Copies of this chain bind each other. A is one copy, B any other.
Amino acid sequence: MDFGKSAELFRALGDPGRLKVLALLAAPPAEACAPAGRICACDLTEHLGLSQPTVSHHMKLLVAAGLVTATKRGRWTDYALAPGGLTQVQTLLADLQSASLGSVGTELDQPRPAEAS
């Protein structure tokens, strides 16, 4: 298990707004803008009560974490749950719990610059 990568994934889930996005995407409300099963970025600001750049920032993180997909549609961007994204998280948890981790002692990546100083 790559603790560094896993930690990144959990950190992506560590914001209430981002959790709300995922919940919305799991059961997308019918909106006029987006095709069925997706949510248009233009609707997310109201759902989240945050400014447009903030929403964009959060979505960027979710996409980078592999939890969400973004599809451009002209001016619009539609977001959807990435297939297998949350399942990957569940797998990480299962692995963590079963400790099927091989040589645990050497698996801690050092992704932090501060540790290099």
Using a CB–CB distance below 8 Å, which chain A residues touch chain B? 1, 3-4, 6-8, 10-11, 13-20, 22-24, 26-27, 47-49, 86-87, 89-90, 93-94, 96-99, 101, 104-105, 107-109, 111
Q: Determine the main DSSP class of A at the interface with B.
A: helix
Copies of this chain assembled into the complex: 2
A76 to chain B, nearest CB (A): 22
In the complex, the answer to whether B19 meets A13 with C-beta atoms within 8 Å is no
A93 to chain B, nearest CB (A): 5
A84 to chain B, nearest CB (A): 11
Expressed in whole angstroms, the Cα–Cα distance for A94 and B23 within the complex equals 11
With A86-B93, A90-B93, A93-B89 as known contacts, state yes or no: A4 contacts B16, CB within 8 Å. yes
